[in-house]
Amino acid sequence: MKNLRVILFLGIALVFGACSTQPPMLIKDSVTIADGTVSGSFDESTGITTFKGIPFAAPPVGDLRWKAPQPVEPWEGVKECTEFSASPMQATPMPFSMWTQEFIAPKEPLSEDCLYLNVWTPAKDATEKHPVLVYIYGGGFSSGGSAVPIYDGVEMAKKGLVFITINYRVGTLGFLAHPELTAESPNNASGNYGLLDQVEALKWVNKNIAAFGGDPNNITIAGQSAGAFSVNYLVASPLTKGLIHRAIAESGGAVLSTNALARGGSLKSAEEAGVRFAESLGASSVEELRAKSTEEILSGAGLRNPIVDGYFLPKPVSEIFANGEQIDIPVIIGWNEDEGFGGAPVPAGQFKERVKQLFGDKADEFLAKFPLKTDEEAFAIQNDLGALQTFGIQSYKWMQLQNKKVTSKVFMYRFERDVPYADGMSDFGAFHTGEVPYAYNNLKMSPRPWTEADYKLADLMSDYWVNFATSGDPNAEGLPAWEAASPDNLKAMRFNSTSACGDLPSIELLKFLDTFYSN
């Protein structure tokens, strides 16, 4: 009898033990994802766990050079992910012009083996569901990397996001098209490998981010410059349907063919350029090209432009948006006041002659609208034109098309804060990329002489970005109201030492450019 009681007791204990709920594994210890287990680094002072250098695709080397990203080889044991991976192959990153070191990828390591991402999470375990923001770097599709200091994710994670930065292939290694590459592709396409890397990273996020306490049903993509062009391409591509839920495009877009990054040339013309590239290196086949060293590939004429490849991008972005075929999600879009690349402004008389070259048979219409009576007026409008022709007009047209064909809201902005500069730096005003350390609350990554007004602006902008990633609306109690923009409500948030939503700046010039580029 006694033995029977013991057996019954043990049996009941085993049953209850099997049914009891074990506490979830702490993210700061390790995270198990589809391909294996990873460990990161936990900071007691911030409560944030950081994972750096997680592979999201196989290394695109050897026979995988110029192929769509392939699956990661699963691993045994725990992969330590505490250091950034190599940045993609490119010319040695060096500070230049207004872009000091905090805006630039590290000089090394650089490698074709670069398809890795980084995760910052505030979650303690996988039961939490934080909104997710995936940041895509700029660099003209020819440079950049996820290890740039101002892309650090700690501060955004402290505000409640799971923040992710990704690498993608750039330059010729990311965008070469060639008839042989098209023929060997199961998708009958070549080029756009850097954009396909971004899609693969988003697939990884959807599949794995819940293990880091992120919500796979609440993913925002954000990017600046080429990253913003990427965001526009991703929103237009049929390959991202179901993968993204909101988008932020800072200084970039491809709804108008205003420059090479937005032009979306044909696959055929890109293939012809690829053949010429191969011939310039003495290669008569893709096999011979793949045998070339990375240094030899980088020595050739760089190819870096996204194209209409018939797969990632079945049609030009302008046509996709005009037909309302893009993903219908809320967006934040905008530009910076002083981000033109037109060189030093010229006096009014000289600029009037330049206007004739710029606008052809619409030059008289331009001069009638903007008479340029003084050199000061000419200087001001040249500054506006520099920012609008590549960046501002894309935001304006995107807003128009979104309001015309789909239902999700558009929130527009212009960043107008003159970024402080230290001894040895120059005053570039509200320059291209200048908003990034503000939007992601990363002023601490820079030695610039920030003031209290700068820190307040960074806190405000990052709050808006977090709110938007959380709900699709940047507004919240205690913040200046930010109205959605439409052709009937031309409003934008003007970010400066005092920020407020007001009339869309440079509207008459935007309307002229819209007419000019749309015809």
Question: Which amino acids are annotated catalytic?
Answer: 225, 339, 432
- Cα dihedral 70/71/75/81 (nearest 10): 80
Contact 469, 246 (CB under 8 A): yes
Q: If we measure between CA atoms, which residue out of 228, 166, 167, 193 comes closest to residue 67?
A: 193
| Whole-number Å distance between alpha carbons of 282 and 15 | 72
Contact 165, 442 (CB under 8 A): no
Q: Which amino acid is at 230?
A: S
Other residues' Cβ atoms within 10 Å of the Cβ of residue 419? 24
User: Cα angle at 303 between 262 and 99, to 5 degrees?
Assistant: 70
| Whole-number Å distance between alpha carbons of 113 and 449 | 37
SS3 assignment for 386-398: HHHHHHHHHHHHH
Question: Collapsing DSSP states into helix, strand and coil, what is residue 342?
Answer: coil
| Whole-number Å distance between alpha carbons of 331 and 248 | 6
Contact 93, 104 (CB under 8 A): yes
| Whole-number Å distance between alpha carbons of 109 and 92 | 10
List Cβ neighbours of 355 (8 Å cut-off, separation of 6 or more): 363, 366, 367
Q: Which amino acid is at 447?
A: P
User: Encoding tokens for residue 453?
Assistant: 């007004």
| Whole-number Å distance between alpha carbons of 398 and 514 | 11
Q: Which amino acid is at 417?
A: R
| Whole-number Å distance between alpha carbons of 503 and 505 | 6
| Whole-number Å distance between alpha carbons of 414 and 72 | 40
DSSP state at residue 206: H
List Cβ neighbours of 314 (8 Å cut-off, separation of 6 or more): 238, 308, 320
| Whole-number Å distance between alpha carbons of 494 and 336 | 10
Q: Which residue has the tokens 């905090």?
A: 102
Q: Is the peptide bond before 88 cis (omega within 30 degrees of 0)?
A: no
User: Encoding tokens for residue 510?
Assistant: 């935007």
Strands (E), 438-514: 491-495, 500-503
